[in-house]
Structure 1
């Protein structure tokens, strides 16, 4: 088949295009702005990338199928052409993934507000280390496995990051509803994606819909310390295992401690010691990611009666995912990190982990309120509590987008609130100004700093500019 990806340069769409290419299909894609590394990966794989959108060009290509990214809506010239002519079949990305990769597979669907990418990568990595050749599709850029997609052996499990965001402008169901789960990991559950969910109950509802389609021979792995997640129980039609610190968790995390190299902890399965882990990742949240990944990998290869037979080799060598606690630069006096954290809870956790790992260093955070949730003023108080874990904070501008009905975060008020708590803070009118403020904060003492960029976007390129000047 000739398959056309509208919006091919995004991480998820690009990895999916490469997955479909590996299945033997001809893949062509278009996007408005195409940059490395995804542009290089696509070109190296023989995927033709067309810049911009052109209805006549699409007509001439005559694809057998068009896959629409969820960033596209009415008004795009290629979307309008598809709707007016009905010349070619079109589907959402999740529907395409089910059709080409997930149908008939034993799928591990990794969900939750936080930790999806790391847990997905870790689950696939553990299966590989167990000499299994899993299929997988990861929404970020993992260091382990060495790429974000693989068809794998058709008889092996398929690991996929299950996003609760909607599928397409014509399909408002969450993406993960399409993924035919056998094992569901529910890492945590909070209010997020304020552009499509009205409130926490709305978010819970879509997770309830996912849980309804886990089969009787499947598994639901749920965070036993998360009240929102636990509120979805009881579930009578499938096996449920709780993972966490709680004494009644089926898989308990015990003896967690931060080390100079990362962290260490034990995993105890229903009272029996299973694994002792000493690895490079920091933070209790990453210990939970590891626990979920170990259990999911074990259950996907067994009937569930004795997961502790799974040895989970290679955890000490796991390198993580780009933009998740990624050290971009390190010297005697300064560590520069980049992290995808943009939700208040994720920021709270990452700053706490850095505080524990670097107790004698000053933590300087640069935060870009860019996501549809983090830029809203309803998140100002939770964001204040999260960012207060840093010593100094630079806040980028919260930009108004198409909808005028939302109240954008008052970043000046956020900075004032931080200063009232003893945190040096500045709200910048532009990201260029944020870079200058960050440089001033870094030059104002003798070093011994951890600088962490917190954004789910590019921060207008100031991360690279900061690194180049140091």
Structure 2
């Protein structure tokens, strides 16, 4: 049994690597600066030993290989000792390709927004069809209850292992020693390109730099593969114009895959203007219908009929932290959503508005992503929140002037530097039938449970 030690194990991606490695028969240990629930509990339940911090003495574990997460930088004491001793190390994406993906049909979901939801939909469609795929997703799909697993035995052929693996293909960099995007390591045969905007201002100087990485991904897709691209996204169209060697299907356009809304709980699916199925579900917004179209198209590429894919999506349960209802208190409904980029914020609020009509939406935002902390998106923030009736922003994690950024919202917006003061304020303004939409890509100090209590 080979032993790997994962340095920076508690992130969603590296935690998924740990789960897959353990299932594949490796001995797995790991360390991180923040070893705490729920990831620590999930990993320890798998029998994975966790170590708090990055002490250089961890080299005494003598693993066969150190797998390095992208949170690790030069100056990290354990990494410095690994380098000083000349010990074997690799990145998480490279380890995943060499040990899991290289002999599988990889279905990758890339894009600025919607990766987790679309990958979850696609994995579920394959599961519903009996194909038992492996997957690694940056969230927990509620149809599965785990974020990552190895391919399983298909229903149709219990003597073999599924050849399919669905992965959320992130454009963030791989490691301090490999500045390519993670997704160039995955070599997908089927690739979804959901959308493309400027993000990750901490590693990309501009949109063109991100487009270059997407172009590098496109270069790895075989001629007999398939690219499924959002036809309404000009940035993707421009990226494909740099060169494409693979067939392309588009969604969101007439000459491709389209969704026709019947009501808030159903939509029809068309391919080249021909009706191919109907989805009945409770998910909100045009963005989720586009996510569904992409998943249906990708599933069709491996032989799943659109009617069956629509049937699967009709029983799809959304990912945790994607418009997840946390509970109700005094008639007000509290939601948790991962939205942290202005486009995602706007589409999330628009989806909720379509559902609740004129009922009051209180949008509570914590701008804490690296891009938000740098202030790169501050000029677009006010317009992204415009559809909410009231906006509350916790500015404790940023250095730029949030009050100035939200001035276009006038009296609709209130900014707090103190979390407890903000919590008291929210409790005083919540009324029956209000919808409190909490948006953050972090834990937000447990705000959801504190409001419910």
Same fold (TM over 0.5): yes
Q: Tell me the residue number matched to 2:157.
A: none
Q: Tell me the residue number matched to 1:184.
A: 191
CA apart distance, 1:135: 0.9
Q: Tell me the residue number matched to 1:351.
A: 349
Distance 2:111 2:307 in 1: 27
Structure 1 residue runs without a partner (length 5+)? 401-407
Residue 236 of structure 2, aligned match among 225, 229, 235: 229
Distance 2:121 2:223 in 1: 25
Instruction: Please say if residues 29 and 47 of structure 1, whose CA atoms lie closer than 8 Å, have aligned partners that are also in contact.
Output: yes
Distance 2:381 2:263 in 1: 24
Residue 458 of structure 1, aligned match among 440, 443, 447: 443
1:160–1:311 CA distance, 2 compared to 1 (3 A)? closer
Q: Tell me the residue number matched to 2:426.
A: 438
Aligned 1:55-454 pairs, distance under 5 A: 55-56=56-57, 58-86=58-86, 88-153=87-152, 154-234=161-241, 235-244=243-252, 246-248=253-255, 250-254=256-260, 256-259=261-264, 263-301=265-303, 308=306, 310-330=308-328, 333-397=331-395, 399=397, 408-419=399-410, 424-442=412-430, 446-454=431-439
CA apart distance, 1:460: 2.5
1:236–1:81 CA distance, 2 compared to 1 (3 A)? closer
Instruction: Please say if residues 105 and 164 of structure 2, whose CA atoms lie closer than 8 Å, have aligned partners that are also in contact.
Output: yes
Instruction: Please say if residues 379 and 409 of structure 1, whose CA atoms lie closer than 8 Å, have aligned partners that are also in contact.
Output: no
Distance 1:267 1:409 in 2: 44
Q: Tell me the residue number matched to 1:49.
A: 50
Instruction: Please say if residues 257 and 264 of structure 1, whose CA atoms lie closer than 8 Å, have aligned partners that are also in contact.
Output: yes
Secondary structure in structure 2 of the residue aligned to 1:12: helix
1:311–1:203 CA distance, 2 compared to 1 (3 A)? closer
Instruction: Please say if residues 345 and 385 of structure 2, whose CA atoms lie closer than 8 Å, have aligned partners that are also in contact.
Output: yes
Secondary structure in structure 2 of the residue aligned to 1:314: helix
Secondary structure in structure 2 of the residue aligned to 1:8: coil
CA apart distance, 1:280: 1.5
1:311–1:326 CA distance, 2 compared to 1 (3 A)? closer
Instruction: Please say if residues 395 and 415 of structure 1, whose CA atoms lie closer than 8 Å, have aligned partners that are also in contact.
Output: no
1:118–1:84 CA distance, 2 compared to 1 (3 A)? same
Q: Could you say what the CA RMSD is over the residues aligned between the two structures, in angstroms?
A: 1.7
1:144–1:361 CA distance, 2 compared to 1 (3 A)? same
CA apart distance, 1:35: 2.1
CA apart distance, 1:146: 2.4
Distance 2:271 2:404 in 1: 47
1:270–1:310 CA distance, 2 compared to 1 (3 A)? farther
Q: Tell me the residue number matched to 1:405.
A: none
Instruction: Please say if residues 28 and 48 of structure 2, whose CA atoms lie closer than 8 Å, have aligned partners that are also in contact.
Output: yes
CA apart distance, 1:46: 0.8
Secondary structure in structure 1 of the residue aligned to 2:100: helix
1:331–1:257 CA distance, 2 compared to 1 (3 A)? farther
Distance 1:334 1:294 in 2: 35
Instruction: Please say if residues 329 and 452 of structure 2, whose CA atoms lie closer than 8 Å, have aligned partners that are also in contact.
Output: no
Distance 1:378 1:311 in 2: 39
Secondary structure in structure 2 of the residue aligned to 1:289: helix
Instruction: Please say if residues 35 and 51 of structure 2, whose CA atoms lie closer than 8 Å, have aligned partners that are also in contact.
Output: no
CA apart distance, 1:155: 4.2
Instruction: Name the TM-score, length of structure 1 as normaliser.
Output: 0.91
Distance 1:383 1:14 in 2: 32
TM-superposition CA deviations, 1:122-167 (whole Å, max 9, x none)? 1011100001111100111221222111111444210000000000
Distance 2:151 2:376 in 1: 43
CA apart distance, 1:384: 0.6
TM-superposition CA deviations, 1:366-407 (whole Å, max 9, x none)? 10010112233342221110111111111111535xxxxxxx
1:349–1:36 CA distance, 2 compared to 1 (3 A)? same
Distance 2:36 2:204 in 1: 31
CA apart distance, 1:114: 0.3
Distance 2:451 2:13 in 1: 27
Distance 2:418 2:170 in 1: 31
Secondary structure in structure 2 of the residue aligned to 1:409: coil
Instruction: Please say if residues 267 and 275 of structure 1, whose CA atoms lie closer than 8 Å, have aligned partners that are also in contact.
Output: yes
1:92–1:295 CA distance, 2 compared to 1 (3 A)? same
Instruction: Name the TM-score, length of structure 2 as normaliser.
Output: 0.94
Distance 2:314 2:306 in 1: 18
Q: Tell me the residue number matched to 2:12.
A: 11
Further displaced range: 21-30 or 432-441? 432-441
Further displaced range: 353-362 or 293-302? 293-302
Matched residues, number: 443
